[in-house]
């Protein structure tokens, strides 16, 4: 049922870098690529089989849909992957459509409208308000988004910030 040609290196995920191990890449019922460990595993929760076109397919094994004879029980590779976590890189500042620090704090781009900035601020303020979330780090972030909104909501301050890349002096 399985062959050595089915094995391909781990590509990692959005959270982890590739670990370099060979895995079997299958297609789920929603046609997404899904890696499983190369050998069948009794503790696995994924059924793998080869369809009539020769493609390895996979699905979750449940009480409603138990394992059937042509399927093999496999372990998802995500459960055993030893890849390192990806490091988030800060956005580059010189590209106009990418975010600058104040825009990045609010989660908007430099071309965002005043309404977009206001909506983003209010959404974050509801999440990070000290009455809702008492963590001191969250309180500091709440102050940062307040300062970012103070600068970006005023057209004059926003223009000065866009031209210089630095927060305008208090007036």
Task: Compute the mean pLDDT over every residue in the chain, rounded to the nearest whole number.
Answer: 85
Residue scoring higher pLDDT (171 or 24): 24
124 burial type by CB count under 10 A (0-12 exposed, 13-18 middle, 19+ buried): buried
Q: What is the pTM of this model?
A: 0.48
Q: Would you say 103 and 109 are in contact if contact means Cβ atoms under 8 Å apart?
A: yes
Residue ranges and CATH numbers for the domains of the chain are 4-79 (no CATH), 101-164 (1.10.287.110)
Q: What is the mean pLDDT of residues 146-162?
A: 91
């Amino acid at each position: 049922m399985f062959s050595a040609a089915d094995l391909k290196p781990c590509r990692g995920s959005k959270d982890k870098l590739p670990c370099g191990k060979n895995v079997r890449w299958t297609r789920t019922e929603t046609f997404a690529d899904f890696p499983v460990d190369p050998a069948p595993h009794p503790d696995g929760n994924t059924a793998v089989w080869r369809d009539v076109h020769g493609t390895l397919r996979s699905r979750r094994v449940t009480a409603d849909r138990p394992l059937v004879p042509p399927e093999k029980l496999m372990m998802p590779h995500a459960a055993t992957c030893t890849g390192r976590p990806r490091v988030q890189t800060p956005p580059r500042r010189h590209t106009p459509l990418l975010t600058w620090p104040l825009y990045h704090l609010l989660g908007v781009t430099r071309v965002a409208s005043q309404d977009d900035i206001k909506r983003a601020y209010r959404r974050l303020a509801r999440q990070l308000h000290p009455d809702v979330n008492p963590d001191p780090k969250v309180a500091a972030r709440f102050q940062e988004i307040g300062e970012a909104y103070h600068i970006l909501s005023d057209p004059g301050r926003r223009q000065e910030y866009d031209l210089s890349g630095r927060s305008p002096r208090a007036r």
